[in-house]
Amino acid sequence: MGSAQDNTCQSEVILEVRDLHIEFHDHDKPETAVEDFDLTLHKGEILGLVGESGSGKSLSALAIAGLLNRHSLTKSGQILFDGCDLLTCERSRLRSYQGDEISIIFQEPMTSLDPLQRIGRQMEEALRIHHKEMSKDERRKLALQTMAEVGLAEPEKVYRMYPHELSGGMIQRVMIGAGIIGQPQILIADEPTTALDVTIQAQIIALLRKINEERGMAILFISHDLSLVRQLCHRVIVMQRGHIVETGDTEEVFLHPREAYTKALIDAIPKVDLSEFAGTSDAEASHVR
């Protein structure tokens, strides 16, 4: 990923978050969930956001996507996109960006789709909202093309199916397809591989890399799985208890972590001692890799 990062560093900034502070008011006293959060995302970059559960990474992403309830919490700082502060802009302008310029894939694909709607209709939702000039046939054609692009076999068949008829991996591909169909500038992937087995995880990571390379789409990849972040991301931000503790080029952070918390996360990545399998066949040894 080194050469890609070199190019990314020279590209334009498309999203900037400054001093984001998120505070909940659900209990007797306010509770701070995210504090002093800064983020810069460049065009064509894959930026990883990592940390343990409850660190504030998904909450920060939801704030960027404009999906936090405005009544049960307070937010301060700035989220700058297209010359607009997404925290304070008119609701109508925010909605014009959601699903079209900024799209999000949620971490629970099995519960992210309407069980009563066919896949094709759900794939086309962003087009119906943001591209009313498109005809029904044009939407269908683009939906089928996008299904094929994200690796769904027999798109015509899948188009007519319901979510319960698809596997978890297929549903996640549908979600990715629905996320990119409008050609957004930013794709937020919030734990997109959590509910999938390791084989499907690898396929989804490869698909996200392909989308980034072929479409030049910036991706904010949120995960607690550092091994996936290392495979995919150009840069990484490490969060702990609502604060950023470290940020930098992915390989630099992994090879030379500055903070004890980052080092602890890296040390927690499972490692297999292949010497334990000395004497096994090559096929058996490769299986544990």
Q: Read off the pLDDT of residues 177-220 as tens digits, 9 standing for 90 and up.
A: 999 999 999 999 999 888 788 888 899 999 999 999 999 999 99
What's the length of the chain? 289
Residue 107: inside a domain, yes or no?
A: no
Residue 49: inside a domain, yes or no?
A: yes
The tokens describing 155, both together, are 């798109």
**Could you tell me if 176 and 191 lie in one domain?**
no
**Could you tell me if 196 and 242 lie in one domain?**
yes
Helix ranges, the chain (H): 2-10, 57-64, 91-97, 119-123, 125-130, 136-149, 155-159, 168-180, 198-215, 226-232, 250-255, 260-267, 282-288
**Could you tell me if 94 and 195 lie in one domain?**
yes
Among 181, 200, 226, the domain-final residue is 181
Ranking 16-30, 140-154, 237-251 by mean pLDDT, the lowest is 16-30
Among 131, 150, 181, the domain-final residue is 181
Q: What is the mean pLDDT of residues 83-98?
A: 92
**Could you tell me if 118 and 91 lie in one domain?**
no
CB pairs under 8 A, 24+ apart, for 95-98? 95/66, 96/130, 97/66, 98/65, 98/66, 98/67
pLDDT at 280 over 60: no
What are the strands of the beta sheet with 243-249, ordered from one edge? 102-105, 186-190, 218-223, 46-50, 235-240, 243-249
pLDDT score for 287:
42
Burial label, 1 (beta-carbon count in 10 A; 0-12, 13-18, 19+): middle
Report the alpha-carbon angle 82-85-90, nearest 5: 100
Query: What is the Cα–Cα distance from 114 to 249, expressed in whole angstroms?
Result: 38
pLDDT at 18 over 90: yes
Q: pTM of the full predicted structure?
A: 0.87
pLDDT score for 283:
46
Show the domain range for 91.
Answer: 2-101+184-288
Instruction: Tell me the average pLDDT of the chain.
Output: 87
**Could you tell me if 119 and 240 lie in one domain?**
no
**pLDDT-based confidence at residue 2 (cuts at 50, 70, 90):** very low
Residue 134: inside a domain, yes or no?
A: yes
pLDDT score for 97:
94
pLDDT score for 24:
85
Among 151, 181, 211, the domain-final residue is 181
The CA-atom distances, in angstroms, between 194 and each of 29, 65, 204, 283 are 33, 20, 11, 28
**Could you tell me if 84 and 189 lie in one domain?**
yes
* Count of domains for the chain: 2
**Could you tell me if 19 and 160 lie in one domain?**
no
CB-based contacts of 72, cutoff 8 Å, min separation 6: 24, 25, 26
